[in-house]
């Protein structure tokens, strides 16, 4: 039986509006972030998508988003899908972050000397956590997981997924995966903050 996994980023937070680095540290959803999550809830309802299981990272912004989107008061927290640790850059202005290496599409290991995580490590620990859930929760038709932008990017790098240039994970971005015969495949990227613009990856 195939399982649909909806892996999404949290709604807008206070630090997002302030342009501050938000990895291991946390800040609450803004009013707009709450509204974004509720719009995603409406989207799922309108498309008759109901969740058998709901998970979030251990960070408040993800857990609150998961509760709003699912309408459930209790969600299961997964430490493995928490956001990348940015080390000494946590809560600092984003412009202080190191620039990507030429041709790179992530921080790679640039944050490690500052006490942060390598994107490969982030992607692996998150993907391992997700696959463990998918193996054990094999009776679920639809699973919702709310995570974070850099973590989702790390997962996609682990899976060898390539996105069109300029495409990223805005707040509440949704990666729709299908898990079948131990294979996790991206089918769609849905961007709620871009009027639910959808990119299809089926058949890629």
Task: Please state the pTM of the whole predicted model.
Answer: 0.96
Element (H, E) at 56: strand 53-56
Residue 1 confidence (pLDDT):
74
From first to last of its 204 residues, the chain has per-residue pLDDT tens of: 799 999 999 999 999 999 999 999 999 999 999 999 999 999 999 999 999 999 999 999 999 999 999 999 999 999 999 999 999 999 999 999 999 999 999 999 999 999 999 999 999 999 999 999 999 987 899 999 999 999 999 999 999 998 988 899 999 999 999 999 889 999 999 999 999 999 999 765
Give residue limits of the domains in the chain. Answer: 3-200
Give residues with Cβ within 8 angstroms of 181, minimum separation 6. Answer: none
- For residue 156, what pLDDT is reported? 97
Q: How far apart are CA 162 and CA 119, in angstroms?
A: 15
Interatomic CA distance for residues 197 and 121, integer angstroms: 30
How far apart are the C-alpha atoms of 152 and 131, rounded to whole Å? 14
> Over the stretch 126-159, which tens digit does the pLDDT of each residue have?
999 999 999 998 789 999 999 999 999 999 999 9
CATH of domain 3-200: 3.40.50.1240
Q: Are strands 174-180 and 3-9 parallel, antiparallel or unpaired?
A: antiparallel
The pLDDT assigned to 203 comes to 62
């Amino acid at each position: 039986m195939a399982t649909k996994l909806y892996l999404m980023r949290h709604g807008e937070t206070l630090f997002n509006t302030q342009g501050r680095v938000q990895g291991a540290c946390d800040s609450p959803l803004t009013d707009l972030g709450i509204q974004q999550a509720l719009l995603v809830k409406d989207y799922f309802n309108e498309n008759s998508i109901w969740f058998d299981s709901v998970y979030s990272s251990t960070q408040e912004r993800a857990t609150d988003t998961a509760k709003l989107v699912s309408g459930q008061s209790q969600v299961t927290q997964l430490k493995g899908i928490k956001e990348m640790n940015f080390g000494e850059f946590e809560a600092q202005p984003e412009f202080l972050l190191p620039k990507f290496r030429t041709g790179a599409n992530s921080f790679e290991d640039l944050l490690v000397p500052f006490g942060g995580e390598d994107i490969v490590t982030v992607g692996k620990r998150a993907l391992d956590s997700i696959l463990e859930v998918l193996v054990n929760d094999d009776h679920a038709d639809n699973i919702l997981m709310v995570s974070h932008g850099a973590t989702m990017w790390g997962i996609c790098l682990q899976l060898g997924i390539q996105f069109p240039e300029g495409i990223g994970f805005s707040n509440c971005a949704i990666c729709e995966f299908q898990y079948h015969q131990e294979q996790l495949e991206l089918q769609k990227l849905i961007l709620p903050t871009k009027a639910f613009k959808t990119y299809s990856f089926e058949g890629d």
